[in-house]
Chain A
């Protein structure tokens, strides 16, 4: 997996990509395009502050996997913070030597949900 510009990634055919999303303070309120266009989610695990899931890229060059992540917030009144900070880490399960790519979405109180679309192109 290799990061290109603007949330676009280059992946190998049949490469397993892991997506780990965490929030700094609960509750976790992120949703994922389901199924991701061009693939399917697998090994989904959710905790109070995180979500881990994987997908496998298509086998033919030029094909794409596209999905969005929408992040919302439920910050309690009187909380000492006013944003929900989501950290998203993309890594390759097939080629663990590839460096993971970090991304983030910050949702200020009252301005969510905030969405971001990611594209993975098979080459």
Chain B
């Protein structure tokens, strides 16, 4: 969930504190007493958005008793003016984030799959296709593999929306519903030919693998009873402070500018009464009314008082935004413990020659079963660090006397710790990634490739690999220097430029000089 909303709240807080959120509403329709003076194009765009939000708010509140009373309350307009200012700031931040991500991607490990395509010719059986179209399944394409995924809530939603609503509402308190909602099943199909160092496959649209996933523990739903006291604290502190500030703000307006306040309120009530007289007002009619009320609010009150009257109100909104964002972040990075089973079909794999084993050409490799425990969590050490760990084993599903296979192909344990690094000398935030892996490859892969650090491994034995990565941001230029160090007992797995013994180091200053 978190998400764009978290960003919005963070930047809301930032914009309020920086005073950039002083966006004024649009001038009202002619004759409404709008203030004179030119406005920038961005103001006009914001004004349009504010009115659009007010229209959304009007339509949402028209269905509840006395719901439209909020439109004769100044707080409604102040809050929407702020809200739009934050969204505008957020858009700019998203652009920056995309830029950062692009920088990071240039240093991503090679060997990634082909990108997905919306025009993929990969096919799935017709029943699955129908399920994809109805929303019961999601489909993704990665290289030559097409994957369809389903979970219980989506299937219920596709069958009956009403049942889905009651199922969704029961999730926080009903153990069965909560458990079912954490189960997902996916199936992959090969939709074209591919090759690896140890296998060649396959005929088009053949079954490739199936995966079942269940979250044994997942508290990342904000409705989870675990978070009740946290939400209660937010309501009783920061939201309560907003309410107290609203009362103070409106009492101050009534005391210091009673004539203007009374006129605006009276005119707003008249506009709302006219709108209410229309049984089903159109969007245009609501827009006209909201523009008029907002414009008069600006000319009579907001433009004359600005933030001087709303100082505590703004502070309360800022505190709420920060606290809400922190809580959402805490929830979205809480611990998740999952189990995953994957069956890999190797029926169509033609085995290549082996340097260490003998067998008849034409023998197919047994299918593979992979059992994987996944642990993920965040907010560690009080600095927002996140940890992901996997423990897995892969077994051949059938013994093969011809191939002389033991049932276990490998055991594997891996982990990654992401440590956020605060901005240094005006630079942007960055992350240090520390990861490690131990794998006991008991049998040659024989089919599905085993890759470590992007390199295919075919030799049996123990493998260990440790890696640290940091894209060091330089000042405010957006330039970063990728730095990595890798250690492994197998030097062919080290892809660094400078390798000494079992360790390699990479640092690339090209990006620094390229932009200067």
- Known contacts: A26-B172, A28-B235, A111-B80. The answer to whether A33 contacts B243 by CB under 8 A is yes
Task: Decide if B286 is an interface residue (CB 8 Å cutoff).
Answer: no
Q: Given known contacts A31-B243, A77-B3, is B61 in contact with A117 (CB within 8 Å)?
A: no
Q: Are the C-beta atoms of B231 and A29 separated by less than 8 Å?
A: yes
Q: Which residues from 46 to 102 on chain B have a C-beta closer than 8 Å to any C-beta of chain A?
A: 53, 56-57, 60-61, 63-67, 69-70, 72-73, 75-76, 79-80, 83
- Residues of A contacting B79 in the complex (Cβ-Cβ under 8 angstroms): 112-115
Contact string, A47-83, partner B, CB cutoff 8 A, digits 1/0? 0100100000000000000111111101011111101
| A20 at interface by CB-CB < 8 Å | no
A68/B70 contact (C-beta < 8 A), A29-B235, A76-B221, A104-B61 known? no
Of the candidates B60, B164, B244, the one whose C-beta lies within 8 Å of that of A108 is B60
Question: Does A34 have its Cβ within 8 Å of any Cβ on chain B?
Answer: yes
Inter-chain contacts of A114 with B (CB < 8 A)? 57, 70, 75-76, 79
- State whether B241 touches A31 (Cβ < 8 A): yes
Indicate the member of B75, B157, B168, B239 with the most A CB atoms within 10 Å.
B239
CB within 8 A of A106: which of B67, B83, B324? B67
* Residue B238 interfacial (CB < 8 Å): yes
Give the distance in Å from the alpha carbon of A106 to the alpha carbon of B80 in the complex. Answer: 14
B residues in contact with A72, CB < 8 Å:
239, 320, 324
* A-chain residues with CB within 8 Å of residue B236 when the two chains form the complex: 31, 46
Q: Give the distance in Å from the alpha carbon of A74 to the alpha carbon of B172 in the complex.
A: 14
Bound complex: CA A83 to CA B59 (Å)? 11
Which residues on the B side are within 8 Å of A26 (C-beta)? 172, 223, 228, 231
The verdict on A87 contacting chain B, using a C-beta distance below 8 Å, is: yes
Interfacial chain B residues near A94, Cβ < 8 Å? none
**Contact between A80 and B157 (Cβ–Cβ < 8 Å)?**
yes
Residue of A nearest to B220 (CB): A76
Contact between B75 and A68 (Cβ–Cβ < 8 Å)? yes
A37's partner among B1, B161, B222, B247 (CB-CB below 8 A) is B247
Report the separation of the CA atoms of residues A116 and B69 in the bound assembly, to the nearest whole angstrom. 8
**In this assembly, does A85 line the interface, its C-beta being within 8 Å of a C-beta of chain B?**
yes
Majority secondary structure, A binding face? strand
B290 to chain A, nearest CB (A): 13
Bitwise interface map of B from 88 to 123 toward A, beta carbon under 8 Å scored 1, else 0: 000000000000000000000000000000000000
CA separation between A66 and B80, bound complex, in Å? 23
User: Which residues 279-328 of B sit at the A interface, judged by CB distance below 8 A?
Assistant: 317, 320, 324, 328
Contact A30 B66 (CB under 8 A): no
Tell me the nearest residue of chain A to B56, going by C-beta: A108
> Which range holds the interface residue count of chain A?
35 or more
Q: Is the CB of B61 within 8 A of A70?
A: no
B246 contacts A33, C-beta separation under 8 Å:
yes
Q: Is B494 positioned at the interface, with any CB of A under 8 Å from its CB?
A: no
CB pair A27 B244 closer than 8 Å: no
**B247 CB contacts on chain A under 8 angstroms:** 33, 37, 66-68, 117
A103 interface contact, C-beta 8 A: yes
A27→B234 CA distance, assembly (Å): 10
Point out the residue from B56, B66, B240 that lies within 8 Å of A34, measured CB to CB. B240
| A123 sits at the interface (CB 8 A) | no
CB of B5 within 8 Å of the partner chain: yes
Q: Does A10 contact B (CB under 8 A)?
A: no
A102 to B67 alpha-carbon distance, docked (Å): 10
Assembly CA distance A29 to B243 (angstroms):
12
**Chain B: number of interface residues, binned into ranges:** 35 or more
Residues of chain B within 8 A of A33, CB atoms compared: 240, 243-244, 246-247
B216-237: CB near A (< 8 Å → 1, else 0) gives 0000011101011001101110
A103 to B68, CA, bound (A): 10
B168 touches A105 (CB 8 A): no
Q: Known: A28-B235, A32-B240, A48-B228. Is A6-B269 also a contact (CB below 8 A)?
A: yes
Q: Does B250 contact A (CB under 8 A)?
A: yes
Minimum Cβ distance to chain A for residue B82 (Å): 10
Is B13 positioned at the interface, with any CB of A under 8 Å from its CB?
Answer: no
- The answer to whether A7 has its CB under 8 Å from any CB of chain B is yes
Minimum distance in angstroms from A43 CB to a CB of chain B: 15
User: Is there contact, CB below 8 Å, between A113 and B269?
Assistant: no
Specify which chain B residues have a CB less than 8 angstroms from the CB of A116 in the assembled complex: 69-70, 73, 75
Measured CA separation A104–B328 after assembly (Å): 26
Given the complex, which residues of B lie within 8 Å of A105, measured CB to CB?
61, 64, 67, 70
Question: In the complex, how many angstroms separate the beta carbon of A111 from the nearest chain B beta carbon?
Answer: 6
Q: How far is the CB of A104 from chain B (nearest CB, A)?
A: 3
| Contact A70 B227, beta carbon cutoff 8 Å | no
Digit string of A85-123 for contact with B (CB within 8 Å is 1, else 0)? 101000000000000001111111011111111000000
Query: CB distance B56 to A27 under 8 Å?
Result: no
Query: Which residue of chain A is the closest to B54 with respect to CB atoms?
Result: A111
How far apart are the CA atoms of A104 and B5 in the complex, in Å? 24
Of A25, A51, A106, A113, the residue contacting B63 (CB under 8 A) is A106
Kindly provide the distance from the CB of B135 to the nearest chain A CB, expressed in whole angstroms. 12
Q: Which residues of A contact B320 (CB under 8 A)?
A: 72, 113
**0/1 interface trace, chain B 338-361, chain A, CB 8 Å (1 if under):** 000000000000000000000000
Q: Is B8 an interface residue (CB 8 A)?
A: yes
B169 close to chain A: CB less than 8 A: yes
A-B contacts besides A76-B223, A113-B242, 8 pairs, CB < 8 Å:
A26-B172, A28-B232, A31-B240, A32-B240, A33-B247, A34-B244, A114-B75, A115-B73
23 residue pairs bridging A and B, Cβ less than 8 Å apart = A26-B231, A29-B231, A31-B235, A33-B244, A46-B236, A68-B243, A71-B239, A72-B239, A77-B1, A80-B164, A102-B66, A104-B67, A105-B67, A106-B57, A106-B60, A106-B63, A107-B60, A111-B56, A111-B57, A112-B79, A115-B76, A115-B79, A116-B75
Task: Please provide the 5 A-B residue pairs with the shortest distance between their CB atoms, ordered closest to farther.
Answer: A104-B64, A31-B239, A77-B1, A31-B240, A27-B231
